[in-house]
Structure 1
Amino acid sequence: MDYKILLISTYRELTEKVKKIAEDLGVDIDVFEGGILKNGVHYAKSVEANYDVIISQGGTAAAIKDIASIPVIEIEISVADLISAIYKAREYHSKMYMVVYNNKSVESLKKLKSYLNLDLTIFAYTNREELESQFNNRPQNESITLLGMGSCIEDLKSDNNTQAIIIKSTDESIKEAITIAKNIVDLNKREKEKTERLKAILDYSDEGIIALDTNNIITTFNPYAEKILKVDSKSILNRGISDFSDNTTMSALYGEGKIAYNMLLKIEDTQYIINRVAIIVDNEQVGLVITFKAVSQLQSLERKVRHKLYSSAFYAKYRFENIKGSSHAIHQCIKKAKKFAETDSTILIYGETGTGKELFAQSVHNYSNRRNESFVAINCAALPGTLL
């Protein structure tokens, strides 16, 4: 399966780890290196139409979630990962500054700072200007350690008195994020296939189909319903059935939502076979499906089936156009036969053997009002004279 997954990476090591783990999982992932401060969020938004899911970390993931219309999976940073980075930072300098995106995680970090009694200042930002302003306004000439989830903290290092520690996710967290992304893609593709199958059923069904949700909003109006009712689905969909109370046909089809099976109903000048079936989920009705088909359509189909089944013995294949002849006599015979074909009377055709009696019989049948019915030829020569 083709997995369209994008990683917005916040540092080089994360890129390499994700590529390696993704390869082990049999997943191809496109990568853009750059977090919030390096156009990662803007890039994600600009290309999201090309992907099924985006993976990122920390504040970058949070910022992308705020603007993206596709799923965004965050590579988790556990408390253990965070504490491990903090203790590593304290090996350099006791004074620490943590760079984080300004969201709900800030309050959790403040609590952690209090619990561990840390000499830690939190720089919460939403853009580069905010971060640089806070960093430049700190006491100067002090030895500090910067902590953050991306390579942006490397850019803030101004001298040898500043150390930078990137808070890193474990391989397990990376694998979990990729697996979740993979599962989302699989699920979305299955749902898309299901949707396409349903669309094909609706589009090529030979009966009208209308579906309503629990609020009686029309959610489905298939092409055959458009054809039968001579109305565009765009003017019907997402509107309440009550909007069409003045429409005789729609009101009759809805029938106040009463359940019905193979109900014969005359609407204006047309007879319909109608079904109304409740959509039940967890023993609760959440909608209604209405199917309908003109009786004349069923009759036409029945005739076609009958003709197909009995085409060899009960089908008249000849028409007047098949009778060859240019004489005045033959033209008069055809003219008279056409006139007789328009009546409901029994017609006797007589003539010598080989003169074309059966041609005329079949032609009369195909010219008559019974042209859509079966044509049954009986060989009278095979019947006893007494029976005749």
Structure 2
Amino acid sequence: MAVSTTHIFGTDPQVIEPLHADIIVARGITAIAIALQKPSVHVVPINWSNADLLSALSQAKAASPDGHIGLITNEQLCEQEELATLVGLDVSVFQVTDQNDVLEGVSTLQKQGCTMFVGGLTMCRICEERNLPFIHVKTGYQAVVHAVNEAVGAARSLDRAQTRGNLLGTLLNNANYALLAIDSSGQIIAGNRQAENLFGKSPLEGLPVEDVYFSSRWAEAFNSGNQKEELVTINGQQCLVTQQPISMDEEKAGFLYTFQNAEAIRQTEHKIRTELNRKGLVARYSFSDIVTQNPHMQALVQKARRFSQVPGTVLLLGETGTGKELFAQSIHNASARAKEPFVAVNCAALPEQLLESELFGYTDGAFTGAAKGGKAGLFELAHKGTLFLDEIAEMPIVVQAKLLRVLQEREVRKIGADMVIPVDVRIISAANNTIIDKVREGKFRLDLFYRISLLSLQLIPLRERLEDIGILFRHFVQQYCRRHNLKEPLLTEQAIAALNAFPWPGNIRELRNAAERLAILNTSDVVTVQEIDLLDIGSTSLRMHDEPLKQIRRKSKVSDEELYQQFLTSGLSREAFAKQMGLSRTTLWRKFAAFEQ
């Protein structure tokens, strides 16, 4: 804290202007003049005490026992009659505010017959110039000490205020967006550098808010004191503007306006979603992972590639295990959204209330048990990316209605929220063939079905792509052997023929499980029909329509000629082959009779 002293008197602006300080201690009309001319400076006045005044009047009486005393002061004193009674002489008082008043006061009191003048330093200098007798009212020691202590206290308070102000200014200027503080009359009381750059004006303090930003739609919100949010364009920049009430002592004191660059918000969201990708919301498979030699499947892959290049919704139909999620991830990774999140949810795995909160999210306190701070829904997590709705036919009808609205409006309302969130999400759905039946039965909304099935693929079961069974099985065995650090065996054609004879109701998922089982359990360098039999595939096979596996095999689309070729390449006896196929030996002989003549 620096302290300096100077000697001035009077109220001349040219004398006061050079003064530079945060706090000034002064007396009389000089203190008043400094306070008026330098409103940003804290002025501590040194006031006369009663003792100071009585001492000066006593000296005046001693110097002029029969005189008439003229008192010139800027302070409110008792009536001059009371002063005259105390002193025992005539006393006239003239009230002043600046040095021009002092000049007038001396002249006026002189005309009234005053012979002795009492007052401050400015009066004394005028009396000296006119050869008039005077007594200077000198400030006592205690009054000076009191004023200095008050100035020191003010300096400490000012230092704390400046520290807080500097800290607040640093915080405001380091914000990533423009800020304006507005008082209740609509005048700007604070603004950061970002606001000055946005509006191209500096300084902003003291300007009406209408000079830099005005929206007629906000007038009602401003007058009512409500919070408001709006997306507007300011000087070529698209900004999200928020009006937040400022309250002091439970009363509205004004508003805080924030102006956030919309593109910066989008970039921040992108960074967040990129981080979500690293946490697992990413598609792992692409079209190169689809192993097939089947012409129909190859055509489906080419069709799916074309689907990936357009933004429409896709519906994948097929039995369980036919690779619907593999196709969904491949479509995502081949699309323009490949670097954005891929979020998958099984609609059959969650009850209605939980599925709704998972899809759309919820706010803090939206329901009993809701996580503190709320939760982002899967639509938000998948923003700019893809949301895969597996087994969508099992989605409850209530959630279907809300999903339809999201697809129509492209916006999500969290549970418990009063505002919507725009989302840009591509929807890929998957269902088995029963979804058509559910539409007919009214268990799945027809309008939603049309929405999700703009582009559709019907995946074929493994039993209709026999040429793929061998290459897929070898692919999976190789994969699992490498994963478990096991030696890869040689698969004979007879082993592959035995696999081809099985109907695979679980499709590729079932085939993959059998391959992993072989990789783990096999101890032979060469896999024949015997090793395939040891896998006991049928024991864990799914049943279709509650029919025995033998009946399924009988109904599989294998001609007698294909069956005979399988027998020839199987290396099995007729009895063993008949047992494996679930046929009697008589039936088998009858089927083979035409080819053995």
TM value normalised by structure 2: 0.39
**2: CA distance, partners of 1:82 / 1:373:** 84
Q: How does 1:109-258 map to 2 (within 5 A)?
A: 110-116=80-86, 117-122=88-93, 126-127=99-100, 130=104, 133=107, 145-150=116-121, 153=124, 156=127, 164-220=134-190, 222-224=192-194, 231-233=199-201, 237-240=207-210, 244-245=214-215, 258=226
**2: CA distance, partners of 1:159 / 1:242:** 59
Task: Check 1:167–1:254 CA distance in 2 against 1; reply closer, same or farther (3 A cut).
Answer: closer
Q: Give the superposition deviation at 1:114.
A: 3.8
**2: CA distance, partners of 1:225 / 1:35:** 44
Q: How does 1:297-376 map to 2 (within 5 A)?
A: 297-304=264-271, 369=336, 373=340
Aligned letter for 1:284? E
The SS at the match of 1:59 is helix
Task: Check 1:191–1:371 CA distance in 2 against 1; reply closer, same or farther (3 A cut).
Answer: farther
**2: CA distance, partners of 1:214 / 1:96:** 56
Task: Check 1:233–1:73 CA distance in 2 against 1; reply closer, same or farther (3 A cut).
Answer: same
Task: Check 1:153–1:310 CA distance in 2 against 1; reply closer, same or farther (3 A cut).
Answer: same
The SS at the match of 1:30 is coil
**2: CA distance, partners of 1:368 / 1:252:** 46
Report if the CA contact (8 A) 1:253-1:274 is conserved. no
2:30 corresponds to which residue?
60
Mean Cα displacement is larger for which, 218-227 or 92-101? 218-227
The CA deviation string for residues 290-328 of structure 1, in whole angstroms up to 9 with x for no partner, is 4354565344224435767999x99xxxxxxxxxxxxxx
Q: How does 1:250-289 map to 2 (within 5 A)?
A: 258-259=226-227, 275-289=242-256
Aligned residues: 296
Q: Give the superposition deviation at 1:145.
A: 4.7
1:86 corresponds to which residue?
57
Task: Check 1:110–1:193 CA distance in 2 against 1; reply closer, same or farther (3 A cut).
Answer: same
Task: Check 1:193–1:368 CA distance in 2 against 1; reply closer, same or farther (3 A cut).
Answer: farther
Show structure 1 runs of 5+ residues with no match.
3-27, 315-339, 346-366
The SS at the match of 1:29 is coil
Q: Give the superposition deviation at 1:100.
A: 1.9
Report if the CA contact (8 A) 2:24-2:43 is conserved. yes
**2: CA distance, partners of 1:258 / 1:157:** 66
TM-align CA RMSD:
5.2
1:364 corresponds to which residue?
none
Task: Check 1:119–1:226 CA distance in 2 against 1; reply closer, same or farther (3 A cut).
Answer: closer
Aligned letter for 2:58? Y
Task: Check 1:175–1:87 CA distance in 2 against 1; reply closer, same or farther (3 A cut).
Answer: same
The CA deviation string for residues 128-157 of structure 1, in whole angstroms up to 9 with x for no partner, is 754675687687xx9x65433228637746
Report if the CA contact (8 A) 1:73-1:177 is conserved. yes
Q: How does 1:24-35 map to 2 (within 5 A)?
A: 28-32=3-7, 34-35=8-9
Q: Give the superposition deviation at 1:245.
A: 3.4
**1: CA distance, partners of 2:277 / 2:200:** 39
**1: CA distance, partners of 2:255 / 2:122:** 55
Aligned letter for 1:259? Q
2:46 corresponds to which residue?
75
**2: CA distance, partners of 1:225 / 1:63:** 36
1:100 corresponds to which residue?
72
The structure number with the bigger radius of gyration is 2
The CA deviation string for residues 6-47 of structure 1, in whole angstroms up to 9 with x for no partner, is xxxxxxxxxxxxxxxxxxxxxx22212x422xxx64454221
**2: CA distance, partners of 1:147 / 1:257:** 57
Report if the CA contact (8 A) 1:254-1:290 is conserved. no
Task: Check 1:231–1:29 CA distance in 2 against 1; reply closer, same or farther (3 A cut).
Answer: closer
Higher relative contact order (CA 8 A, sep 6+): 1
The CA deviation string for residues 55-93 of structure 1, in whole angstroms up to 9 with x for no partner, is 222233334444343333221111222112212332332
2:465 corresponds to which residue?
none
The SS at the match of 1:206 is coil
Task: Check 1:291–1:61 CA distance in 2 against 1; reply closer, same or farther (3 A cut).
Answer: closer
Identity rate, percent? 20
Show structure 2 runs of 5+ residues with no match.
282-304, 311-333, 343-478, 489-514, 520-597
Report if the CA contact (8 A) 2:60-2:118 is conserved. yes
